[in-house]
Amino acid sequence: MKTVNEAALWLQSHDTYVILTHCRPDGDAVGSAISLCLGLRSIGKTAYIWKNPQFTPRYLPRLQGLVIDTVPEHATIISVDMATEGLLPINGKDFAGKILLSLDHHPSNTGYAQHSLVLAQCAGCGELIWDLLEELGVAITKEMAEAIYIAISTDTGCFRFSNTTAHTFMTAAKAVEHGADIAPINRELFEIKSKGRLRLESRIMANMEFYADGKVAIACLPQTWVEELEVTEDDLDSISGFPRTIDGVQVGIMVRDSEPGKAKLSVRTANGYDASAYCSKLGGGGHKAAAGCAVAGTLEDGKKAILEVLKQEQVI
Amino acid sequence: MKTVNEAALWLQSHDTYVILTHCRPDGDAVGSAISLCLGLRSIGKTAYIWKNPQFTPRYLPRLQGLVIDTVPEHATIISVDMATEGLLPINGKDFAGKILLSLDHHPSNTGYAQHSLVLAQCAGCGELIWDLLEELGVAITKEMAEAIYIAISTDTGCFRFSNTTAHTFMTAAKAVEHGADIAPINRELFEIKSKGRLRLESRIMANMEFYADGKVAIACLPQTWVEELEVTEDDLDSISGFPRTIDGVQVGIMVRDSEPGKAKLSVRTANGYDASAYCSKLGGGGHKAAAGCAVAGTLEDGKKAILEVLKQEQVI
């Protein structure tokens, strides 16, 4: 499928939808699923979201009345925001090979579904869903608008990331016009940090090392801290990017020992520095601005290895 | 004046503009001034921005070639984002009584100018300026679009605050359509923190006190820390809100001793709590969600006083 219109016609001609989200579902997956499910119901279709055991607690109130954990007869299985069947939820591996429509924005979508609509220009899958709901003639409600807002705001870091486009802002404008109350959502998603996260950041900051006049910052995150400070997986979200949020830092490195015997390095760089080049020297890879690698040994071993590379590359 | 159209007609019929920004100019003031100045020049007008000695360094490259510090003959003095003449820049007090047009979004605008266009529904004055440029028939350039983006994104905390409307998002969408490269702007304005700020937050966090099962958080910021950590005024931006960014905190209080012999308290509250009521008991005031007061004495005295009020109010 190439257009939202084709996907809309297909959805109009089927029924009894079960919508899948990927494992460890983020705001874009959950928001896209909720709005699509509500939209399909509003035009008379039967629709459910497959109960993903990894839904984060903050989204459960919005999912109430929408989820199902058995497959109804004659179900039409569709997925949102899912690039590969390898990302099926942990209780949904049996859906492999049975997905009829994939609605996605990942250019890496493997084409696993019978039909796919992949719009890679969308920052969030939620943008595609909004256009689809309009195409379906859905009267978009506050609940749908807020779900889409969650989808697009989380996938763009509240419109900060470089994937944000005019279309993203336009979709946010429409969400507000359709009643989305965005201030409390923004506060919950982008402003509030847990005590554990703040204490962890404090400790990371106090132990951070700077090189090359502050252009390079290296931080270690020992797993013992994670346990000691009772930090959750949610608290660790995007912690790898923390060194690069410091003024003047062009190359930010986070070293973790979350797997025993291994130092995992995340490297984030500004324009003019190539994270992928540094990491590939240690057997890793990624993009120019964000890459990773793993080194056998302790946190100290990992730090030494990347510092050696940065010396070779004349960064420090 | 009631409409953007009236303001456009007025601007078309005058010339030799000197645009004033308020003292301690923020992104909205600077961005509004830059885009208006460029826009007026693009339609053949002579236009300058009055050189405000408090322009922050980050905006100076964008101001290059636009500023002036002597008043040309037959100048038309106008102001952007300025609610009262009390806010005239420190080197512009003589403009009092001479401002012919005020373009503003503050409902508290005192009507000091001969003509005023005050659109209080705009989150940033930049929204009004965009509509004005369109009305003037300006071909909006990347430079103008980025200046407007700076204006509206800073006044909404990157679209997080409750003042953000559909019109704000629409204006951002148009800015991107007109070439604004927003990712580096967002990174500089909303992602990067100075080492001083991060160290200060660490120290505040380590010394924060929690009451009522974590619903109330009180933090002190001794002026000695500001000096010791070499924290700038810029670094202290919105530090008063820090306690309220912690998960679960409904009443966040920051106590500072920036003036000798006085403890200044900032109180921020969630729905269901009334910051203004607490502060008025100590001779201060403000809004329900954000209020302030001052207590004679030390930081400890300030803390004791507000805790006493919270006990009386049965918050703790």
Asked whether the ipTM of the predicted complex exceeds the cut of 0.90, the reply is no
Strand residues in chain A grouped as ranges (E): 17-20, 47-50, 67-68, 76-80, 101-104, 115-118, 209-211, 216-221, 251-256, 262-269, 285-286, 290-296
User: What is the chain B residue with the closest CA to A241?
Assistant: B191
Mean pLDDT score of chain A: 95
What is the pLDDT averaged over residues B251-270? 94
pLDDT value at A182 more than 90: yes
The CATH number assigned to the domain holding A66 equals: 3.90.1640.10
Q: Give B88-129 pLDDT, tens digit per residue.
A: 999 999 999 999 999 999 988 999 999 999 999 999 999 999
Q: Give B171-217 pLDDT, tens digit per residue.
A: 999 999 999 999 999 999 998 888 999 999 999 998 999 999 999 99
The nearest CA of chain A is from the CA of B258 a distance in Å of 24
Q: Closest Cα partner for A219 from A314, A316, A293, A303?
A: A303
Q: How far is CA B260 from CA B236, B256, B302, in A?
A: 18, 10, 13
3-state DSSP assignment of residue A255: strand
Mean pLDDT score of chain B: 95
Q: Are B270 and A187 in contact (CB under 8 A)?
A: no
Looking at the structure, tell me whether residues B185 and B211 fall in a common domain: no
Looking at the structure, tell me whether residues A42 and A171 fall in a common domain: yes
Interface-testing mutation among A167, A170, A208, with chain B (most B C-beta atoms within 10 A): A170
Instruction: List, edge to edge, every strand of the sheet that includes B262-269.
Output: B209-211, B216-221, B251-256, B262-269, B290-296, B285-286
Looking at the structure, tell me whether residues B114 and B200 fall in a common domain: no
Q: How confident is the model at residue A55 (pLDDT cuts 50, 70, 90)?
A: very high
CB pair distance less than 8 Å for B247 and A161: no
Q: Which residues does A contribute to its contact with B (CB < 8 Å)?
A: 158-162, 164-170, 172-174, 176-177, 182-183, 186-187, 190-195, 198-199, 201-202, 205-206, 214, 245-248
Q: How confident is the model at residue B236 (pLDDT cuts 50, 70, 90)?
A: confident
The nearest CA of chain A is from the CA of B65 a distance in Å of 27
| C-alpha–C-alpha distance, residues A88 and A70, integer Å | 16
CB atoms within 10 A of CB A64: 7
Q: Which of B162, B189, B216 is the last residue of a domain?
A: B189
Amino acid (1-letter code) at residue B45 = K
Q: Which residue has the tokens 């529904």?
A: B121
Would you state the pLDDT for residue B232? 84
Name the residue among B166, B183, B248 with its Cβ closest to that of A162: B183
CB pair distance less than 8 Å for B205 and A199: yes
Angle value at C-alpha A192, between B190 and A246, nearest 5 degrees: 35
Looking at the structure, tell me whether residues B13 and B130 fall in a common domain: yes
pLDDT value at B149 more than 80: yes
Looking at the structure, tell me whether residues A184 and A201 fall in a common domain: no
Q: Which residues of B touch A194 (CB under 8 A)?
A: 246-247
Q: Give B276-293 pLDDT, tens digit per residue.
A: 999 999 999 888 888 899
Q: Residues of chain B with pLDDT > 90: what percent? A: 87
Domain count, chain B: 2
DSSP notation for chain B: --SHHHHHHHHHT--SEEEE--SS--HHHHHHHHHHHHHHHHTT--EEEE--TT--GGGHHHHTTTEESSPPTT-EEEEES---GGG--TT-GGGTT---EEEE--TT----SSEEEE-TT-SSHHHHHHHHHHHTT----HHHHHHHHHHHHHHTTTTTSTT--HHHHHHHHHHHHTT--HHHHHIIIII-B-HHHHHHHHHHHHT-EEETTTTEEEEEE-HHHHHHTT--TGGGTTGGGGGGGBTT-SEEEEEE--STTEEEEEEEE-TT--HHHHHHTTT-EE-SSEEEEEEES-HHHHHHHHHHHHHHTT--
What is the pLDDT averaged over residues B58-65? 96
pLDDT value at B266 more than 90: yes
pLDDT value at B161 more than 80: yes
Looking at the structure, tell me whether residues A23 and A162 fall in a common domain: yes
Q: Give B7-18 pLDDT, tens digit per residue.
A: 999 999 999 999
Q: Residues of chain B with pLDDT > 70: what percent? A: 100
Name the residue among A166, A194, A195 with its Cβ closest to that of B173: A166
Q: Give A197-217 pLDDT, tens digit per residue.
A: 999 999 999 899 999 999 999
Would you state the pLDDT for residue A237? 78
Q: Which residues of A touch B216 (CB under 8 A)?
A: none
Q: How confident is the model at residue A151 (pLDDT cuts 50, 70, 90)?
A: very high
Would you state the pLDDT for residue B127? 98
CB pair distance less than 8 Å for A176 and B164: yes
pLDDT value at A235 more than 90: no
Looking at the structure, tell me whether residues A51 and A142 fall in a common domain: yes
The CATH number assigned to the domain holding A202 equals: 3.10.310.30
Q: Which residues of A touch B239 (CB under 8 A)?
A: none
CB atoms within 10 A of CB B45: 17
Q: How confident is the model at residue A252 (pLDDT cuts 50, 70, 90)?
A: very high
Ramachandran region, residue A81 (left: φ > 0; alpha: ψ -120 to 50; beta: rest): left
Q: Which residue has the tokens 């070293």?
A: A255
Looking at the structure, tell me whether residues B80 and B214 fall in a common domain: no
Would you state the pLDDT for residue B277? 94
| C-alpha–C-alpha distance, residues B93 and A270, integer Å | 42
Would you state the pLDDT for residue A233? 77
Q: How many CA atoms lie within 13 A of B189 on its CB side?
A: 26
The token pair that represents B9 in the structure block:
């007609």
Q: Are B208 and B249 in contact (CB under 8 A)?
A: no
| C-alpha–C-alpha distance, residues B119 and B102, integer Å | 11
pLDDT value at A238 more than 90: no
Looking at the structure, tell me whether residues B147 and B208 fall in a common domain: no
Angle value at C-alpha B144, between B169 and B234, nearest 5 degrees: 75
Instruction: Tell me phi and psi for residue A176, to 5 degrees.
Output: -65, -40
Q: How confident is the model at residue A273 (pLDDT cuts 50, 70, 90)?
A: very high
Q: Are A128 and A119 in contact (CB under 8 A)?
A: yes
Q: Residues of chain A with pLDDT > 90: what percent? A: 87
Looking at the structure, tell me whether residues A250 and A160 fall in a common domain: no
| C-alpha–C-alpha distance, residues B55 and B289, integer Å | 30
Q: Which of B159, B189, B219 is the last residue of a domain?
A: B189
Q: Give A80-128 pLDDT, tens digit per residue.
A: 999 999 999 999 999 999 999 999 999 889 999 999 999 999 999 999 9
pLDDT value at A234 more than 80: no
Q: Which of A166, A189, A212 is the last residue of a domain?
A: A189
Per the structure, the complete domain to which residue B54 belongs is given by 4-189
What is the pLDDT averaged over residues B291-316? 96
Q: Give A64-75 pLDDT, tens digit per residue.
A: 999 999 999 999
Q: Which residues of A touch B58 (CB under 8 A)?
A: none
Looking at the structure, tell me whether residues A214 and A170 fall in a common domain: no
Looking at the structure, tell me whether residues A233 and A260 fall in a common domain: yes
Q: Are B109 and B128 in contact (CB under 8 A)?
A: no
CB pair distance less than 8 Å for A247 and B201: no
| C-alpha–C-alpha distance, residues B183 and A158, integer Å | 12
Would you state the pLDDT for residue B167? 98
Q: How many CA atoms lie within 13 A of B186 on its CB side?
A: 19
